[in-house]
Amino acid sequence: VETELKNNNVEFTQIGKPKEGATVTIKNGNDSFDFDVIETRDTWFKTSYLLDKKQSGEQKAAERFKNFKNQPLKYTFPAHFDGKKITKDTGAKKPKAAIIREKGSNSEREMANAMYLAGFDVKDVHMTDLISGRETLEDIQFIGAVGGFSNSDVLGSAKGWAGAFLYNEKAKMALENFFKRDDTLSVGICNGCQLFIELGLINPNHEQKPRMLHNDSRKHESNFTSVKVQENSSVMLSTLAGSTLGVWISHGEGKFDLPYSEYRYDVVAKYAYNGYPANPNGSHFDIAMMASNDGRHLVMMPHIERSMFQWNWAYYPEGRNDEVSPWHEAFVNARLWLEKR
């Protein structure tokens, strides 16, 4: 580094150098001070803990404070994953996918890109298109309801978005007809998950419906965590069973409140560690992702579409040089399934 700076005539002053061990030594003239890194980090974090205690309460603040240095991100990648982007034959017809969004939505570009990279012909569909009848979804095989804060979460997350489907005949009919077909797939991520749960689309035969509640911490949570993919029937994620993968979360009402035992649901993934903040919302059974009984419809609070590339992850295994992360496979699986229909 010094050579590079000198060669480019960049002035610099050396203020320190690496040393072995978990201590930092600071010198000023004849004075020398040694600081234990772990103790110093605790002191630094304590201010955040005191502020957090006023917002989330003593229990959650203490859980986070005790946790931050004791929860390593450990991954298990699928044995078959080689890090390569799975391309589609350029001459073959692409299945049609649609992004469904509402005012206040976000991450639609990330979702569209994840679909496009997997070989889909992607269409942008706003709720006004469905309400007006300009879009019927008749030629669409895969929909992705995106994240965000539709209608500013007035009356609760996705309540207004769900109402736009329930109380507008053309939008309602388009969605109902889409879900009646047997050649369709869907994924709802974050706000899209809240939408599908609110509409009762994942377990339509259950008398009591799941709910999405405010996080137990009583605040918006945004962090990089990890999930364990369970044995599951999901079209998109069944091939990743047994994996533990990193993923972003960002939500205020992400708690799966489930009225039945865990075994009544097709649980696709759980947060990799029990308790807060690995489970950022307090979801029952640490559930992060669920699917419909036939595996065609998937909901999740984590943002896999924001975690598609190595450089998206807050921490990625050392020594890998992957073109895409394992989450790419989820969207490829969707395309392969549809091509067989």
Residue 69: the pLDDT is 82
In a domain, 106, yes or no: yes
Helix residue spans in 68-217 (DSSP H): 108-117, 127-132, 159-166, 169-180, 191-198
Residue-wise pLDDT for 225-242, tens only, equals: 999 999 999 999 999 999
In a domain, 120, yes or no: yes
> Residue 148 — very low, low, confident or very high, per pLDDT cuts 50/70/90?
very high
Residues 137 and 222 in one domain: yes
Residues 41 and 190 in one domain: no
Residues 248 and 133 in one domain: yes
| 126 within 8 A of 133, measured Cβ to Cβ | no
Is the pLDDT confidence value at 221 over 90?
yes
What's the number of CA atoms in the CB half-sphere (13 Å) around residue 166? 12
Count how many domains the chain has: 2
Residue-wise pLDDT for 88-139, tens only, equals: 777 789 999 999 999 999 999 999 999 999 999 999 999 999 999 999 999 9
Q: Give the CA-trace dihedral at 247, 224, 78, 236, to 10 degrees.
A: -10
Q: Which of 190, 198, 251, 328 is catalytic?
A: 190
Residues 123 and 242 in one domain: yes
Q: Which of 251, 297, 303, 328 is catalytic?
A: 303
DSSP string covering 92-131: SPPPEEEEEE-TTEE-HHHHHHHHHHTT-EEEEEEHHHHH
DSSP string covering 26-42: EEETTEEEEEEHHHHHH
Please confirm, yes or no, whether 284 is among the known catalytic residues: no
Separation between Cα atoms, residue 225 and residue 130, nearest integer Å: 35
In a domain, 9, yes or no: no
| 254 within 8 A of 197, measured Cβ to Cβ | no
Residue 225: the pLDDT is 96
Residue 330's closest CA among 286, 283, 291, 281?
291
Structure tokens at 142: 């895969």
In a domain, 225, yes or no: yes
> Residue 43 — very low, low, confident or very high, per pLDDT cuts 50/70/90?
very high
Residues 33 and 154 in one domain: no
In a domain, 326, yes or no: yes
Q: How far is CA 192 from CA 12, 144, 211, 310, in A?
A: 50, 8, 13, 24
Mean pLDDT, rounded, for 23-46? 94
In a domain, 44, yes or no: yes
Please confirm, yes or no, whether 305 is among the known catalytic residues: yes
Residues 123 and 160 in one domain: yes
In a domain, 6, yes or no: no
Residues 164 and 207 in one domain: yes
Residues 28 and 127 in one domain: no
CB atoms within 10 A of CB 337: 18
Residue 1: the pLDDT is 85
Domain that includes residue 48, residue range: 23-67
> Residue 224 — very low, low, confident or very high, per pLDDT cuts 50/70/90?
very high
Looking at this protein, which amino acid is placed at residue 290? M
**CATH number of the domain where residue 138 is located:** 3.40.50.880
Separation between Cα atoms, residue 287 and residue 282, nearest integer Å: 9
Residues 241 and 312 in one domain: yes
In a domain, 81, yes or no: no
Residue 109: the pLDDT is 98
Residue 265: the pLDDT is 97
Q: Give the CA-trace dihedral at 159, 271, 215, 284, to 10 degrees.
A: 80
Q: Which of 63, 221, 253, 305 is catalytic?
A: 305
Where in the chain does DSSP place strands (E)? 23-28, 31-36, 96-101, 105-106, 121-126, 142-145, 147-148, 185-189, 211-213, 221-229, 244-251, 255-257, 266-271, 287-291, 297-300
Residues 150 and 253 in one domain: yes
Is the pLDDT confidence value at 167 over 80?
yes
Mean pLDDT, rounded, for 286-290? 98
User: What is the DSSP pairing of strand 147-148 with strand 185-189?
Assistant: unpaired
Mean pLDDT, rounded, for 304-319? 96
Residues 206 and 140 in one domain: yes
Residues 220 and 141 in one domain: yes
| 86 within 8 A of 328, measured Cβ to Cβ | yes
φ, ψ of residue 284 in degrees (nearest 5) = -55, 135
